[in-house]
Amino acid sequence: MLRRIASRCARGLGAGGGAHPAVGLCHPGRSSSSRSSDAPRNQPPSSEFVARPVGVCSMMRLPVQASPEGLDAAFVGVPLDIGTSNRPGARFGPRRIREESVMLRTANPSMGALPFQSLMVADLGDVNVNLYNLTDSCRLIREAYQKIVAAGCIPLTLGGDHTITYPILQAMAKKHGPVGLLHVDAHMDTADKALGEKLYHGTPFRRCVDEGLLDCKRVVQIGIRGSAMTLDPYRYSRSQGFRVVPAEDCWMKSLVPLMGEVRQQVGGRPIYISFDIDGLDPAYAPGTGTPETAGLTPSQALEIIRGCQGLNVVGCDLVEVSPPYDPFGNTALLAANLLFEMLCALPKVTVV
């Protein structure tokens, strides 16, 4: 019986004959060698042959490996939530998103995308963050992502609170220079400090501006809403050249026209996608730390991500999923689907 299961897993998991043991990015482990152009690519196993509860809990049950070498794209977990200001629990986000990802399949008919026929993809496990030191965690994240992008691998990140985007963008800018940013969120995340601290999930993009990591004329923030401390909460972002699209400007309409404008704005240079799940209305995504009412819908989220198809996307993240506030797993399921959509929007993905 076990031999038959192993055989079926090997067929479904593609190259390498199955998943390697799960390991963290800061731990030694097996790494794959660079693949030749005619080598088989990793494929998530089909539920026709492998039951969904079977196998290692990786993203889409893809092989887990320790090195980005030979990969075109990879899912990476960053289980950090010590930068949160309200409800914690995002440290459990990567694991829960992976659990819900068993529902995902290999093709995206709506986009005409076949990512696993185009790209070598795996799960790189989690960054081994320091849950007792936020500054040190940022260093560990930055160093891990520098290795990923240096290998030519595009990271798709499972967060984790939004603090993690700051060290990721440090790694991105080291390779690509200042990048454009598509930021979906209920909040600006451009505060300067809180409780005297300049590093937490409300400040990542302020720190990025301070360090010149962003091409500010190619930064778009969508879905911003909620109460504020002033009547002009957009002042800082707009003063830097960001385009800010409040949630009110998105209510009850398709965002396809907006994304046409965004595509013209960002052009063909590198762009990073950072998607905070609280950009969506809490009716759809309750499992998050700082929910705000009257947000985006899942269909609008799909329009935003699909609108990035063909752009020079160099990395993505999906942050702020907090499983303790997601009792039925709907938020994590939505997050898993959005990450798959991001994978399908990457450059070089076959579109038919």
- Give bridge partners of residue 197 from the DSSP assignment: 194
Q: Are 289 and 322 in contact (CB under 8 A)?
A: yes
Residue 81 marked in a binding site: no
Dihedrals φ, ψ of 9, to 5°?
A: -60, -40
Residue 126 marked in a binding site: no
Residue 20 marked in a binding site: no
The answer for residues whose C-beta is within 8 angstroms of residue 129's C-beta and 6 or more apart is 78, 79, 80, 137, 140, 141
The answer for residues whose C-beta is within 8 angstroms of residue 80's C-beta and 6 or more apart is 90, 91, 127, 129, 131, 134, 137, 141, 159, 160, 161, 163, 164
Calpha distance 247→296 (Å, rounded): 7
- Choose among 164, 161, 163: nearest CA to 144: 164
Calpha distance 163→90 (Å, rounded): 11
Residue 38 marked in a binding site: no
Residue 161 marked in a binding site: no
Residue 123 marked in a binding site: no
Which H helix or E strand runs over 215? Answer: strand 214-224
Token duo for residue 167: 């060290």
Token duo for residue 281: 């209305």
Question: What is the distance of C-alpha 170 from the center of its chain?
Answer: 16
CA angle 122, 115, 182 (to 5 degrees): 90
Amino acid at 304: I
- Give bridge partners of residue 221 from the DSSP assignment: 183, 244
Amino acid at 139: R
The half-sphere exposure of 11 on its side-chain side, counting CA atoms within 13 A, is 10
Extract the annotated binding site. 162, 185, 187, 189, 276, 278
Extract the annotated binding site for Mn(2+). 162, 185, 187, 189, 276, 278
